[in-house]
A and B are shown apart, each in its own frame.
Chain A
Amino acid sequence: MNNRLLGVIDATTYHKGLDELTLHRSLAAVPFAGRYRLIDFILSNMVNSGIESVAIFPKYQYRSLMDHLGSGKNWDLDRKRDGLFFFPSPMIDSSNSGIGSFNHFAANIDYFYRSSQDYALIANCYTVCNIDFSPVLQRHIQSGCDITSIQQLNQPLEMYLVKKDLLIEMIQTRRQTGYTCISDIMADIHQPYTICHYEYKGEAVTIDSVHSYFQASMELLTPDVWKNLFSRDFPIYTKVKDEPPTRYLNGCEVKNAIVANGCQIEGKVENSIIARGVKVGKNTIVRNSVIMQKCEIQEGCVLDSVILDKDVKIETGTCLTGTQSVPFVVKKGSIQGALMNS
């Protein structure tokens, strides 16, 4: 690809349906698949496609996102030339804007002027996929289109490829044209640009509600989905944690589960996603659930169709049950005892 493409990740999105998981963190930093955050997928896809300069535009609660990304080292983006850029814009209020807010870009227009790359890929932060952008760029250049929109089964994935000069022009003329973001242009049938579509054939899921989060998590247990998302040649990178291997103790029973490192499992786990550093106590049953990092589930509990956010403690003998369509969500850092059962 010869470093012709800039990566731009719009991490300003806020989905009301994900409130319970985004109270303390930006959507981009929502944990997924046991050891990742949502942004890891798009960011790793970009890096694997040869993109060397990535700009992240965050808005809400971005402390956890910054902590996660750090210098970009885990994605090989701590570079002297190019690398990872972080452009928070606290003064800009454009919560209703679609993907690729021109106001945000305008506040950091220098980034676009100073970069040597000719093209920009503008992407959202909540699509879980494993996509190679090199053929998209190739097609974009060959077709001579102004904007290439990546889609799946005619549904846009909200990832757009555009020539950088044209993007700068769109940003500069946003007051005259009235377009506030790329999505605006895409939505207007009278817009003046030529638009091409690129059909992505791999696995892609959009996380925009607790329901879709839960469903996408459960689908990871399908071997084909799993293999598609985590290929050896296009790895998904994340922040490393130095957790020891997971320990399966005597008496544990684990079936159809995805388990990250640093767990200590003594109970029964079935059809579940278990994140890093989780403890599952003796005689406890965890079924059809998503357990985020460092949760401690003590002895004799029963959890079915539950999402435990980070650092949750479930005390001995607690029963929590949700349904497949409405999982029971326990907020980050809370303690659930048997007596305060709901």
Chain B
Amino acid sequence: MTNKKCVAMLLAGGKGSRLNSLTKDLAKPAVPFGGKYRIIDFTLSNCTNSGIDTVGVLTQYQPLILNSYIGIGSAWDLDRRNGGVTVLPPYSESSEVKWYTGTASAIYQNINYLEQHNPEYVLILSGDHIYKMNYDLMLDYHINKEADATISVIEVPWHETNRFGIMNTSVDMRIEEFEEKPEQAKNNLASMGIYIFKWSVLNEFLQKDNQNKDSSHDFGKDIIPEMLKLNKKLYAYPFSGYWKDVGTVQSLWEANMDLLDENCELNLFDQNWRIYSVNPNHPPQYISPQAKVKQSLVNEGCTIEGKVIKSVLFQGVAIDKGSVIKESVVMPNTRIGKNVILEKVIVPSNMVIPDGTVIKERKETSEALLITPDSICHYA
């Protein structure tokens, strides 16, 4: 097998517990987003668009839907003879089953996969974020800086710095200090969880980390601090543009609403940076004579006979007469009955919302509400 210049390792084992019932039997990267996509589509499409053709996808939590969704990677043009996409679940050795205990341990346990391709560089990605990024430019930067590791960073509002891993850098962007969720931040450059390593250097540190009984085997908590301690060359790669961790129901709802903003930085219509996904093959959408659709994203296979305002509808959603859907996200194949009013909610896939259901003007909280099969009967 020919050696690859850069191999991507995509961490897709995220449990996404704060997404509540959405991730009950679904890994976070497989959560539907943007009317057509799943979260992982953005990272996989970024790989393809950046010319990276070898991607290992590390799965662990609830992998069934994610695995079958990825398949052989043809949706992202990653069904390649040499490389392509490989799903890497945890496996057992003669002595024990080795679950991925941390981000670094997940990579360590797949050293065989990396050695098979023997790349010069390894790109570590997470399947939890919504963004468009050219990894090839980051790799150029990494090579020009002759770095051992490069970490992609984004400026975050100062009052939110305590939620992120913050990089303190010198003038030329060399990382001098890494602070995990600092109380008093010195900088507002947050790690995006995207790393490029020289494979030889990473290999060495992974081996060492694996021997360390006290380590939590995490890139942010263990590998990066250790590299800084040993004075390795670590650089921050500044990224600007849309980037969002859709970790909670509210942030998932917000990110969907962002797409409806005409000035949104995340342009799904860019022909030169398409976001690929598995196409479900539905007929076009049907908008009835009584229907009204405004400021919305609607996917194929939808039948709209009611009113849809500022909402995102996934494939195969049916909205019956007299219903009003406002500021909501309706996931695939959900049927909404007659005279239903929904405001600021997320409706999961394959639900049936009975006629006359009204969910609006909630006083106790202004956050978006996730409807569940259990909760829906309280409103009907």
What residues of chain B lie closer than 8 Å to A241, measured between beta carbons?
279
A249, B283: Cβ atoms closer than 8 Å:
no
With an 8 A cutoff between CB atoms, is B172 at the interface?
no
Closest to A34 in B: B284
What residues of chain B lie closer than 8 Å to A237, measured between beta carbons?
281
Q: Which of A73, A255, A260 contacts B284 (CB 8 A)?
A: A260
With an 8 A cutoff between CB atoms, is B291 at the interface?
yes
- CA gap between A158 and B262 in the complex, in Å: 50
Which of under 10, 10 to 19, 20 to 34, or 35 or more describes the interface residues of A? 35 or more
Most central of A235, A249, A252, A254 by chain B CB within 10 Å: A254
Q: Which of A235, A245, A251 contacts B36 (CB 8 A)?
A: A245
B262, A249: Cβ atoms closer than 8 Å:
yes
Nearest Cβ on chain B to A158's Cβ, whole angstroms: 25
Nearest Cβ on chain B to A260's Cβ, whole angstroms: 4
With an 8 A cutoff between CB atoms, is B295 at the interface?
yes
Q: Which of A34, A35, A262 contacts B269 (CB 8 A)?
A: A262
- CA gap between A34 and B286 in the complex, in Å: 11
With an 8 A cutoff between CB atoms, is B122 at the interface?
no
Closest to A221 in B: B286
A244, B275: Cβ atoms closer than 8 Å:
yes
A246, B281: Cβ atoms closer than 8 Å:
no
With an 8 A cutoff between CB atoms, is B294 at the interface?
yes
With an 8 A cutoff between CB atoms, is B162 at the interface?
no
With an 8 A cutoff between CB atoms, is A226 at the interface?
yes
A2-35 vs B, CB cutoff 8 Å, 1 = contact: the mask equals 0000000000000000000000000000000111
B291, A254: Cβ atoms closer than 8 Å:
yes
Which of under 10, 10 to 19, 20 to 34, or 35 or more describes the interface residues of B? 35 or more
Closest to A247 in B: B297
Closest to A235 in B: B281
Secondary structure at chain B's binding surface: helix, strand, loop or mixed? loop
What residues of chain A lie closer than 8 Å to B299, measured between beta carbons?
245-246, 261
With an 8 A cutoff between CB atoms, is B289 at the interface?
yes
**Given contacts A245-B35, A255-B289, A262-B269, are A250 and B295 in contact (CB under 8 A)?**
yes
What residues of chain A lie closer than 8 Å to B289, measured between beta carbons?
255-256
A230, B283: Cβ atoms closer than 8 Å:
yes
B297, A238: Cβ atoms closer than 8 Å:
no
What residues of chain B lie closer than 8 Å to A256, measured between beta carbons?
287-289
B283, A247: Cβ atoms closer than 8 Å:
no
Q: Which of B36, B281, B293 contacts A244 (CB 8 A)?
A: B36
B268, A259: Cβ atoms closer than 8 Å:
no
B269, A238: Cβ atoms closer than 8 Å:
no
Nearest Cβ on chain A to B223's Cβ, whole angstroms: 36
With an 8 A cutoff between CB atoms, is B321 at the interface?
no
What residues of chain A lie closer than 8 Å to B293, measured between beta carbons?
248, 252, 254
Closest to B267 in A: A244
A238, B300: Cβ atoms closer than 8 Å:
no
With an 8 A cutoff between CB atoms, is B277 at the interface?
yes
With an 8 A cutoff between CB atoms, is B298 at the interface?
yes
Q: Which of B36, B74, B269, B283 contacts A264 (CB 8 A)?
A: B269
A164-181 vs B, CB cutoff 8 Å, 1 = contact: the mask equals 000000000000000000
Q: Which of B268, B269, B294 contacts A252 (CB 8 A)?
A: B294
With an 8 A cutoff between CB atoms, is A257 at the interface?
yes
What residues of chain B lie closer than 8 Å to A240, measured between beta carbons?
279, 281
Q: Which of B36, B275, B281 contacts A238 (CB 8 A)?
A: B281
With an 8 A cutoff between CB atoms, is A137 at the interface?
no
- CA gap between A249 and B275 in the complex, in Å: 21
With an 8 A cutoff between CB atoms, is A319 at the interface?
no
With an 8 A cutoff between CB atoms, is B34 at the interface?
yes
With an 8 A cutoff between CB atoms, is A242 at the interface?
yes
With an 8 A cutoff between CB atoms, is A120 at the interface?
no
What residues of chain B lie closer than 8 Å to A34, measured between beta carbons?
283-284
**Given contacts A244-B35, A248-B293, are A254 and B287 in contact (CB under 8 A)?**
yes
With an 8 A cutoff between CB atoms, is A285 at the interface?
no
With an 8 A cutoff between CB atoms, is A258 at the interface?
yes
- CA gap between A253 and B282 in the complex, in Å: 23
Q: Which of A235, A238, A259 contacts B287 (CB 8 A)?
A: A259
What residues of chain A lie closer than 8 Å to B285, measured between beta carbons?
246, 258-260
What residues of chain B lie closer than 8 Å to A226, measured between beta carbons?
283, 286
What residues of chain B lie closer than 8 Å to A230, measured between beta carbons?
283
What residues of chain A lie closer than 8 Å to B286, measured between beta carbons?
223, 226, 257-258
Closest to B314 in A: A245
A250, B294: Cβ atoms closer than 8 Å:
yes
With an 8 A cutoff between CB atoms, is B46 at the interface?
no
With an 8 A cutoff between CB atoms, is A308 at the interface?
no
B274, A258: Cβ atoms closer than 8 Å:
no
With an 8 A cutoff between CB atoms, is B276 at the interface?
yes
B293-313 vs A, CB cutoff 8 Å, 1 = contact: the mask equals 111111110000000100011
What 6 pairs between A and B have smallest CB-CB spacing?
A: A245-B35, A244-B268, A34-B284, A240-B279, A230-B283, A245-B299
Q: Which residues of B come within 8 Å of A, CB atoms?
A: 34-36, 74, 262, 268-269, 274-277, 279, 281-289, 291-300, 308, 312-314
24 A-B pairs in the complex with CB atoms less than 8 angstroms apart: A34-B284, A35-B283, A223-B288, A238-B281, A245-B35, A245-B36, A245-B314, A246-B298, A247-B297, A248-B293, A248-B297, A249-B262, A251-B294, A253-B292, A255-B289, A256-B288, A258-B285, A259-B284, A259-B287, A259-B298, A260-B300, A264-B269, A273-B284, A274-B284
Known: A35-B283, A248-B297. 12 other contacts (CB 8 A): A35-B284, A226-B286, A240-B281, A242-B274, A242-B277, A244-B34, A245-B297, A252-B293, A255-B289, A257-B286, A258-B286, A262-B269
